[in-house]
Amino acid sequence: MDYWWIIIILLLIGIIWSAVKQMQKIDPKRFLDNKPKLPPHRDFNDKWDDEDDWPKQKKH
């Protein structure tokens, strides 16, 4: 079994070939016409920053 790497190469070629064939079936124009709308972006970063971690400086 000195040529085990040939099996690996053939397997990888088959996977790549299959992926290329599947990608050729994709119709980008039809996808773009039917793509769902994204919900509005919500930013929740202000929720975790309510507390001030720095010590308050005393004004003189």
Phi then psi for 33, rounded to 5 degrees? -70, -30
- The Cα 26–Cα 22 span in angstroms is 7
Quote the Cα angle for 31-37-41, to 5°: 135
Tokens of 60: 């003189």
pTM over 0.85: no
- What are the tens digits of pLDDT across the range 1-51? 688 999 999 999 999 999 999 999 988 899 889 888 877 776 666 566 556
Per-residue confidence (pLDDT) for residue 52, from 0 to 100: 62
Q: Give per-residue pLDDT as tens, 17-30.
A: 999 999 999 888 99
